[in-house]
Structure 1
Amino acid sequence: MRTGMMALAVGLLAPMFLPALPPVGLMLVLPVVGLMLLPFRTYPLAFLLFGFTWACVSAQWALNDRLPAHLDGETRWLEGRVVGLPQNADGVVRFELADAHSRHEKLPSLLRLAWYAGPPVNSGERWRLAVKLKRPVGLLNPDAFDHEAWLLAQRVGATGTIKDGQRLSEARWAWRDSIRQRLLAVDAQGRAGALAALVLGDGSGLSREDWQILQDTGTVHLLVISGQHIGLLAAVMYLLVAGLARFGLWPLRWPWLPWACGLAFAAALGYALLAGFDVPVQRACVMVGLVLLWRLRFRHLGAWWPLLLAFNGVLLLEPLASLRPGLWLSFAAVAVLIFTFGGRLGAWRWWQTWTRAQWLIAIGLCPVLLALNLPISLSGPLANLLAVPWISLVVLPPALLGTVLLPLPYVGEGLLWLAGGLIDWLFRALALIAGQWPAWIAPSISIWVWILGSLGAVLLLLPRGVPLRPLGWPLLLILVVPPRERLDEGLADVWQLDVGQGLAILIRTRHHTLLYDAGPRFGDFDLGERVVLPALRKLSVDNLDVMLLSHADADHAGGALAIARGMKVVRVLSGDPPGLPAELSAEACESGEQWQWDSVRFQLWMWADARDSNQRSCVLQIEANGERLLLTGDIDVHAERVLLDSPLAVPTQWLQSPHHGSRSSSSMALLNALKPEAVLISRGHGNAFGHPHPTVLARYRKQGLRIYDSAEQGAIHLQLGRFQAPWTMRQQRRFWRDPPALAR
């Protein structure tokens, strides 16, 4: 049976690695084949087929429930019910709408909406809304967070921006939201948001600084409810009943053991429902249930068997949970503990067990975090050593008890005030640790390097004295300092990152690095910090020789400050230095300046008589082995006319579309003079400016240009000097992504 359960797990996981789901006919045939195999006792193969079919069918249902392509970008009036816990941050109300319907169109079952400067929205309310709908898409960059996969795992069929709306009915059965509102209204010494995260699993009340501290210290799992809290509450309830029975305080007519197990599981399940029943909570509930069942029936299940059953149980409930990092981190952490402590012959003292567990979990999760492209906390073992008992034993009891006793005047509020103060002390300590050891974003590694590093982690988890165990350290070190590939002399490696409605292009030669524009920043939403800086780390960029900001507009230079604070930047150039923060110490772009790195030539140009920031964009020409790329910023037709009289007006193979393909740029005179073969467009999907303009696209097609558009193809990778077609992120096929668009 265990072999069958393992085969079932493999079948449930297999679809996440497929570039496309199998056809419907095959999905109908596979379970029939599985049933035919059962009489021949080929249980593993039958279970594999059952798991694979169920996962594929479930994924296909989610894909079929996406917004139809003809509604992408359309505004429709619709009605629906608010579900989950709405979030209100930075003047934007975000929430999910279920059972949405429109008069003339069939809509997805679940929508994720944003309402800028919108009114308060509560869970359970019904609204009539005018929504600009979008298909679930996200930015696609190398080894970065996959927003499309996350939306599919949440079964969100469309996103949208609300233009107008009216409430149709008040909230009904929104008990979680009402509890959250009461928690947020309590005086918790400034930590009401953290209490809501701990009690309800709702992290919307945590500030961006709080999230950064938790990420740097590897303690996110403690504040946004984890399985550990579920197990702790179940254990407390079990021990309470057992203690009452031991001292004769439990009614004799009620058998204490069934009641202890039943109440413990009820407490775990109640806390799980309170927290939203997410993946770590599901895993904890299943495992707690199995342990209590073993205790009730006196049957030895071992440690791996409950873990495997819990894993299959979670995936059977929601096969798309395999797309969530939380699934892998939750089960991997438990597996590391079982592997580490399950086969030990001697006993450790309690303090040895506790300290070694933190370091061994950090080592065991290192390959998992790398595979998931997540930051690695260098201070995680130390921070968790202090934070886990503090949250579990000191903060959680008054937080839960205070929530239950909120109806009692002063009692519940007093307990929550105490819990808030205890959390604040913890955050102060974690901030000190995070300031010394921030999270580390590892560079991209090959599959072979990852396999060797994972082998090293497994060796280090073995008991002391096992042969070959010392080899674990050098093998694990390969993950930390992987071998780097050097570009050939005379080549330029170019990445146009997918930053939405903005621009960020990375150019690397054999020994030097230049960043042209730094991505957009709109309010507190900084793509330089969230996308560009992590992408530079993943691409093994430790410092920038030059950061060239074409001009000072927020969509081009907004992320510059975050990048300058996150890594060493030797020189900052710009066509509009006065418009940039003084902290950047930007130098003015000078027409005619040129230099050479590793046999790759760079040359600058700027219109001296420019009248606005767009026209002052600093233009950069890059030439490698005779192949040229022209980066134009946001120049318009007037600046283009002057550019044609400069040394840069020569045949150029690659053109970065001026001003994102705006109607005011990309004149026929420019295209005729440069004779480009292909154009790179960086813009946001469904942007409000209408970029690229249809007339500009018509000009490109008339010239026979290949068009590479970040909104359709994600990040674009080009090796200048090889005269080859670029590679785009959409070419990395995944079943949840739309097929890659061909260069038009």
Structure 2
Amino acid sequence: MRTGMLALAAGLLSLRFLPALPAIGWLAVLPVVALMLLPFRTYPLAFFLLGLAWACISAQWALDDRLAEPLDGQTRWLEGRVVGLPQQAEGLVRFELEGGRARRGRIPQRLRLAWYGGPPVHSGERWRLAVKLKRPVGLVNLQAFDHEAWLLAQRIGATGTVKDGQLLAATQESWRARIRQRLLQVDAQGRAGGLAALVLGDGSGLSREDWRVLQDTGTVHLMVISGQHISLLAAVMYALVAGLARYGLWPGRWPWLPWACGLAFASALGYGLLAGFDVPVRRACVMVALVLIWRLRFRHLGAWWPFLLALNAVLLFEPLASLQPGFWLSFTAVAVLILIFGGRLGGWRWWQSWTRIQWLIAIGLCPVLLALGLPISLSGPLANLLAEPWISLLVLPPALLGTLFLAVPYLGEGLLWLAGGLLDVLFRGLALLAAQWPAWIAPAIPLWAWSISALGAFLLLLPAGVPLRPLGWPMLLLMVFPPKNTLPYGEAEVWQLDVGQGLAVLVRTREHAMLYDAGPRFGDSDLGARVVLPSLRKLGIARLDLMLLSHADADHAGGADAIQRGLPVARLVSGDPEGLPAYLPAEPCASGEQWQWDGVRFSLWQWADAQNGNQKSCVMQVEAKGERLLLTGDIDAQAERALLNTPLAVETHWLQAPHHGSRSSSSPALLKALAPSAVLISRGHGNGFGHPHPQVVERYRQQGTAIYDSAEQGALRLMLGTYAEPTSLRAQRRFWRKWPLSP
């Protein structure tokens, strides 16, 4: 039976690694073949096929519910019901709409919407809304959150921006929404948002700085309701009943064991419902239920049985859960705990168990974090050693009791005030750790090196005395010191990162690296911190010899501060240094400056008669073995005419589209003089500026210029000096990504 469960789990998990889903015909055949194989000894294969078929069918349903391409970017009036917990902050309301209906065109069942300056929106209300709809598309980079996979896992078929709306039917808020509202209103010493995260699993009240501290210290799992919290509450309830029975305080006519098991599970299930029943909560509830059932029957239960049953139960309930990083981290952490406590002779003292758990879990999660492209916390073992008991024993009990007794004057609010103060003390301590040891983003390593590191981590988790166990350390260190991929002399590696409506281009030679523009920042959305800096670290770049900001606009220079704080920058140059903030002192662009790095030549130019920020853009030409790339910032047609009278107006193989392909740039004269073989466009999907303009695109096509668009192809990698085609990250097939993005 265990073999069958493993095979079923393997089939369900296979979905995560499929480049494309099987055709509809195969999806119909797979279950039939599996049922035919069940009576024979090939039942593991049958279970595998059943798991794979169910996962693929479920994923196909989610893909079929995505917004149709003709509706992408269009505004439609639709009706629907608000679900979940709407988030309202700084004039922006974010919420999910379910059961959407429109008069024209089929609308996905679930939408994620944003309403700038909108009125308060409450769960359960029905609205009629004018929404500009967008297909669920995200940025595709080396090191970035996979927004498309997350949306699919949430079964969100479209996103959108609300332009207008009318409330059709008001209703009383859901009980979870009412509890959150009360929690956010109490005096919790500035940590009401953290208490809402602990009690309800709603992290919207945590600031961006809070999330950074939690990520740097590896304690994110403590501030969202995890399996540890569920198990702890169940254990406390069981121990309470058992203790009362032991001292004769439990009613004799009620058998204590069934009541202890029943109340423990009811507590776990109730907390899970309060938390919204996410993947870690489902896993914990299933495992708690199995342990209690076996305890009720006085049977010994091996640890791997509930683990496998919980794994299969979660995936059967929602096969798309495997697209979420939290799923892998949650089950991996439990598997590591089972491994390190199982099959050992003798026992550890409590303090040995507690300290060893922390660093062994950190070792066990390293290969998974690396595979998922997530940061690795260097202070995680120490932070969790202190934070886990602090949250579990000091913060969580008064937080839950305070929520339970909110209706009692002073009692509930007093408990929440105490919990908030204790939580604030913890955050202050974690902030000190995060400042000393920020999270580490490991450089990309080949599959063979990752496999050796994963094997090394497994060896280190085995009991002492196992042969070859000491070899785990050098094998694991291969992840820290991977083999370097040295660039040939005279060639340059160029990355146009996918930063939406902005620009960030990395140029790296054998021994040097420079960044042309730093990505956009609008409000609290900083693509320099979210995309550019993690991508640089993923590429193994420890310092920048030059950061060149073409001009001061936020879509080009907005991310510069985050990059300067995250990496040493030897030199900062800008075409418009006066327009930059005071904390970004930059040298002016020196038109005519030239230099060489490792056989690659760089040249700068700026229009001396520029009248505005776009015209001031500092233009850079990069030449490697005769192959040229021209980075133009946001120059317009007037600046382009001035450029034609400079040494840079020569045949150019790669042209970065001026001003994202706007109508006021990419003049016929420029294209005729440069005769580019290909153009690189950096812009946001469905941007409000209409970039690139259809006339400009047609101009490129008439010239025979190949078009590479970040909105359609994600981040692009070009090896300048090889005259080869660029590599598109969106071309790395994933079944949830459409390729090509546009027809």
Output the TM-score relative to the length of structure 1: 0.99
Aligned to 1:470: 470
Does structure 2 retain, via aligned residues, the 8 Å contact 1:496–1:505? yes
Q: Which digits, 9 at most, give the CA deviation of each residue in 1:401-444, with x for residues without a partner?
A: 11011111111111111111110111111111111111111111
Quote the Cα distance in structure 2 between the aligned partners of 1:418 and 1:286: 32
Does structure 1 retain, via aligned residues, the 8 Å contact 2:492–2:719? yes
1:284-363 correspondence to structure 2 within 5 Å: 284-363=284-363
Aligned to 1:425: 425
Structure 2, gaps ≥5 residues long: none
Aligned to 1:8: 8
Aligned to 1:119: 119
Q: 1:525/1:143 Cα in 2 relative to 1: closer, same or farther (>3 Å)?
A: closer
Aligned to 2:43: 43
Aligned to 1:618: 618
Letter in 2 for 1:717: R
Letter in 2 for 1:88: Q
Aligned to 1:695: 695
Quote the Cα distance in structure 2 between the aligned partners of 1:410 and 1:582: 48
Kindly state the Cα deviation for residue 469 of structure 1 after the two structures are TM-superposed: 1.3
Q: Which digits, 9 at most, give the CA deviation of each residue in 1:525-572, with x for residues without a partner?
A: 110011100000001111100101000000000001110111000011
Are 2:692 and 1:723 aligned? no
Q: Which digits, 9 at most, give the CA deviation of each residue in 1:474-504, with x for residues without a partner?
A: 1111111111100001111000000000000
Does structure 2 retain, via aligned residues, the 8 Å contact 1:89–1:204? no
Aligned to 2:498: 498
Kindly state the Cα deviation for residue 173 of structure 1 after the two structures are TM-superposed: 5.7
Quote the Cα distance in structure 2 between the aligned partners of 1:654 and 1:239: 69
Letter in 2 for 1:7: A
Aligned to 1:56: 56
Look up the SS of the partner of 1:322 in the other structure: helix
Quote the Cα distance in structure 2 between the aligned partners of 1:456 and 1:20: 32
Quote the Cα distance in structure 2 between the aligned partners of 1:657 and 1:534: 25
Kindly state the Cα deviation for residue 38 of structure 1 after the two structures are TM-superposed: 1.5
Q: Which digits, 9 at most, give the CA deviation of each residue in 1:149-203, with x for residues without a partner?
A: 0100010000001111122222346110010000000111110000000000000
Look up the SS of the partner of 2:39 in the other structure: helix
Aligned to 2:529: 529
Letter in 2 for 1:240: L
1:390-539 correspondence to structure 2 within 5 Å: 390-539=390-539
1:557-706 correspondence to structure 2 within 5 Å: 557-706=557-706
Letter in 2 for 1:207: S
Q: Which digits, 9 at most, give the CA deviation of each residue in 1:121-164, with x for residues without a partner?
A: 11111111110000000000014221100100010000001111
Letter in 1 for 2:212: Q
Aligned to 1:231: 231
Quote the Cα distance in structure 2 between the aligned partners of 1:658 and 1:444: 31
Q: Which digits, 9 at most, give the CA deviation of each residue in 1:344-401, with x for residues without a partner?
A: 1011111011011101001111111101111011000001000101110111111001
Does structure 2 retain, via aligned residues, the 8 Å contact 1:143–1:444? no
Q: Larger deviation: 309-318 or 241-250?
A: 241-250
Quote the Cα distance in structure 1 between the aligned partners of 2:91 and 2:494: 37
Letter in 1 for 2:587: E
Quote the Cα distance in structure 1 between the aligned partners of 2:62 and 2:741: 22
Kindly state the Cα deviation for residue 252 of structure 1 after the two structures are TM-superposed: 2.4
Identity of aligned residues (%): 76
Does structure 1 retain, via aligned residues, the 8 Å contact 2:122–2:173? no
Look up the SS of the partner of 2:571 in the other structure: strand
Aligned to 2:375: 375
CA RMSD of aligned residues (A): 1.0
Output the TM-score relative to the length of structure 2: 0.99
Quote the Cα distance in structure 2 between the aligned partners of 1:83 and 1:649: 57
Quote the Cα distance in structure 1 between the aligned partners of 2:18 and 2:348: 44
Does structure 2 retain, via aligned residues, the 8 Å contact 1:620–1:630? yes
Does structure 2 retain, via aligned residues, the 8 Å contact 1:630–1:655? yes
Kindly state the Cα deviation for residue 246 of structure 1 after the two structures are TM-superposed: 1.8
Q: Which digits, 9 at most, give the CA deviation of each residue in 1:26-71, with x for residues without a partner?
A: 1111111111111213220110111000000000000000000000
Structure 1, gaps ≥5 residues long: none
Does structure 1 retain, via aligned residues, the 8 Å contact 2:280–2:327? yes
Aligned to 2:145: 145
Quote the Cα distance in structure 2 between the aligned partners of 1:383 and 1:441: 18
Kindly state the Cα deviation for residue 719 of structure 1 after the two structures are TM-superposed: 0.4
Letter in 2 for 1:452: I
Does structure 1 retain, via aligned residues, the 8 Å contact 2:143–2:531? no
Kindly state the Cα deviation for residue 301 of structure 1 after the two structures are TM-superposed: 2.5
Are 2:183 and 1:193 aligned? no
Quote the Cα distance in structure 2 between the aligned partners of 1:260 and 1:346: 30
Quote the Cα distance in structure 2 between the aligned partners of 1:253 and 1:24: 59
1:9-28 correspondence to structure 2 within 5 Å: 9-28=9-28
Kindly state the Cα deviation for residue 741 of structure 1 after the two structures are TM-superposed: 5.2
Quote the Cα distance in structure 1 between the aligned partners of 2:424 and 2:56: 45
Quote the Cα distance in structure 2 between the aligned partners of 1:469 and 1:740: 47
Look up the SS of the partner of 1:514 in the other structure: strand
Look up the SS of the partner of 2:551 in the other structure: coil
Are 2:388 and 1:388 aligned? yes
Q: Larger deviation: 129-138 or 80-89?
A: 80-89
Q: Which digits, 9 at most, give the CA deviation of each residue in 1:436-466, with x for residues without a partner?
A: 1111111111111111111111111112222
Kindly state the Cα deviation for residue 9 of structure 1 after the two structures are TM-superposed: 0.4
Quote the Cα distance in structure 1 between the aligned partners of 2:224 and 2:167: 31
Are 2:203 and 1:203 aligned? yes
Kindly state the Cα deviation for residue 247 of structure 1 after the two structures are TM-superposed: 2.3
Kindly state the Cα deviation for residue 730 of structure 1 after the two structures are TM-superposed: 1.4
Quote the Cα distance in structure 2 between the aligned partners of 1:429 and 1:513: 36
Kindly state the Cα deviation for residue 239 of structure 1 after the two structures are TM-superposed: 1.2
Quote the Cα distance in structure 2 between the aligned partners of 1:16 and 1:741: 20
